[in-house]
Every structure is written in structure tokens, then in C-alpha cells.
Amino acid sequence: MNTIYSRQFRQIKTNFVALKKVIKIMYRQFSYMLTNCDSLGIYFEPLIQPLLPMWSATECRAKIIKIDKQSNNILTLTLKPNRRWKGFNPGQYVELTFEKNGKRTCRSYYIASTTSQFETNSTIDLIIQVQPTGQISTWLETGLREGQVLSLSQAKGDFILQNLEPPTLLIASNIGIIAVQSLLYQLVKNKSCNIVLLYLNDDSDLFIDRLQGIEQCYSGVKIELIDTARIDSFSKTTVETLCPDYQKRKIYLCGPINHIKPVQMVLKQLSVGSNNIHLEHFYYDFNTTLINKNKGGTVYFKNHEKKASSKKEDTILSLARRNGIKPKYGCCMGDCKLCTCQKESGIVYNIKTGKYSGAGQELINICITRPVGDVSVKL
């Protein structure tokens, strides 16, 4: 009896899902017919949003509860996302959209708060390091105020704990400590206390008090500070002395790319299996003098799931065409805007204006842009 019922129930459920899908498509067609928008919400958004800033047809929105300036270059944002936001795993990040002088700009920040904080009062904390050369972070202090509403993405990123049990080696550098301390909290909370944390830090004392508090409370947690000024001296012996049983441990590695590359090399020398390492690196302290527009990069074409690396003078358009993707294009001079598409992440160089883009989401003309490093485009 039971099985028959469950089978019928499953049948009904699949029918229901199919019906829901059909209704969704019909609704889309209907709203497209009425308003030329994919949903009625998008059409009414310009009218509704000034009245209800937390409401949006497609995006998650969040209210700034508190802006806290902890030190000269560290800013903590406390955000309260709306119900559309689905929560996060420790170690993930969100993309915040700022509206600076009418231009929407995206930046990614790690979530520094714990999941229990989100469960109790549904707020999250983001820690932002103010870069003296940064376009956005220097503006944040004056541009943001408490009570303002921003758009944010769902939590993103694969830098999450794979397994709670085995002993772990955490290596963090600079801002990467935010993601790593989230992992540390989660591990400690789950009473898995065989942890070594190597913290490559410069003079910023971000989290050091908090981390030392954890070290004192839990006997299995060992935290080592390494000065980044001596990053060159980071070698096999450093790892071997500080964490002799590194071969047995799961390794989590997070930080800006210029710090992570040497560490990765060392781990390679130590012949640590690559499936034991979970890695996340990001571009930090983005400096146009350091990158070379002619060096090229790799482009990930999201809708085609293809990856291609560019040669010297390749634009993204020529790269796509060589790899069998047929994007729309017209004049190839950046005038007609037929080839405009959404860049998901990465930095591109604009031939026409001679400028570098930011690292977040934005619209680019692929016929006049060259990839610089890893770029992902929705094409």
C-alpha cells in the first residue's frame, strides 16, 4: 500500500513541477507581451523601488545596518539582506553592487560573520580593506551611509569545507584570513580541533585577537604568524617545522594571488596531492603598472562552457570566433555596440579608450577588449 501511495505521490509531485514550469513560461510570455519585459516586476520596478527600496524584481537587496570603522584601513559593514537571499556557507563571498555617481560597480567581499549570527538576527558582516589606490574602497566611507539599500548577489564561491573530520591545515594570507577564520569557526564549532593555521600577515592586525582567543580556548588549534615581508623565505622547511604532519591534513589555501603562488610552489615541492588542496586566490591591490595588456589571458565563455587562452593581440571577439563560437558583432570598432555582452569577472583592457576595466560584473564590447588574466564572459 505504502509504495503505491508513495509512487502516486511522486507522480503528482512531478506533474505539479511540470505544471509550475508551464505556468512560469506562460507568465513570462504574457508579461513579455504586455510590457516587453520578462516579468511584470521588471516593468514596474522603476516606479516601486523609490517607494520600497528593499523590493526588487530580480535582485537580492540588503540594508546597511551599521558601518564600523575599526582601524585606519578596515571597514566592517553589517548588512540585513531581504528574504530572497538564501544564506551562505562559511568561506563564501558576496558581490555587492555600489552605485557610485550613477554607475553600478560590483565588488566581492568575504562574509566574516558566522552562520549562527545570520540565523538569529539575519544579518551578515563584511570586512572591507580600504586600498589607498582603490576606486571603490576609498569612496565607501563617504559614499555609504547607514540605512542605505544595496543590491547583492547570492553567496558564491567553492571555498567551503569538504569534510569536517580530518585534521586540517589552513593557510591564509592578508584578506584571505576572513574566509579562513570562517572555516576555523565552523571546524571549532563542530568540535574538530586538530587544526594548524598559518597566517601570512603584514602589519595589519586583522583578527589576531580573535584568533588568539580561539587558540587559548581549544587545545588542538595552533596558530602561527608569518611575516609577509619575508614571503621569499617561505620554504619547505617552514611548512615542515610548523606542521610536520602536513601530508595527513586537508589543506585550505586562501589569499591574494601574489602571496598564494609561492605557497603553492612550496606545496608542490613537498609533493602534496592536488586533490588535498582547496585553493582560492583573488586579485588584490590591483595595479595597472603590474599587468601587461599584451600578455593575454584565458577567457571562459560561460554559455558555451569553453575555455580559451588568448595570444598577444587577440580581442575577446577574435578569440571566440577562432574557437567556433559565433557571437553577434558588427563594425569591430566599438561603435555599433552589437557585440556588447556581460563580463562576469576578470579584468579587460579597452583598446579604444586605453583603459582597464574593474574586476566585477559589467558590460563590455568584446570587439575592442583584450583579456588580462582570467576573464569570464556570458557569451
Question: In this complex, which beta carbon is closest to other proteins, that of residue 33 or of residue 290?
Answer: 33
Cβ closest to other proteins, residue 164 vs residue 331: 331
Q: What is the nearest approach in angstroms of other proteins to the Cβ of residue 84?
A: 14
Distance CA 297, CA 350 (A): 14
Task: Please give the Cα distance from 113 to 179 (Å, whole number).
Answer: 10
Kindly list the residues in this chain that would bind other proteins in the complex (CB under 8 A).
32-34, 36-37, 42-47, 58-59, 101-105, 328, 330-331, 333, 335-338, 340-342, 361-363, 365
Cα separation, 300 vs 239, whole angstroms: 34
Q: Which is nearer to other proteins, 101 or 271 (CB)?
A: 101
**How far apart are CB 165 and other proteins at their closest, in Å?**
42
Nearer to other proteins, 48 or 279 (CB): 48
- Closest separation between CB of residue 327 and other proteins, Å? 12
Q: Measured between alpha carbons, how far is 172 from 280 in angstroms, rounded to an integer?
A: 10
CB of 345 vs other proteins, minimal distance in Å:
14
E-strand ranges in 174-296 read 195-201, 221-227, 250-256, 277-282
* C-alpha closest to that of 367 among 305, 330, 308, 317: 317
Q: Please, what is the minimum distance in Å from the beta carbon of residue 288 to other proteins?
A: 17
Q: Which is nearer to other proteins, 23 or 34 (CB)?
A: 34
Cβ atoms of residues 202 and 284 within 8 Å: no
Contacts of 43 (CB under 8 A, 6+ apart): 31, 34, 35, 37
Contact status, residue 39 vs residue 31, Cβ threshold 8 Å: yes
3-class DSSP assignment, residue 295: coil
Identity of the residue, 42 or 54, whose beta carbon is nearer to other proteins in the bound complex? 42
In the complex, minimum distance from the CB of residue 362 to other proteins, in angstroms, rounded to a whole number: 5
CB count in 10 Å sphere of residue 32? 14
Residues 54 and 61: beta-carbon distance below 8 Å: yes
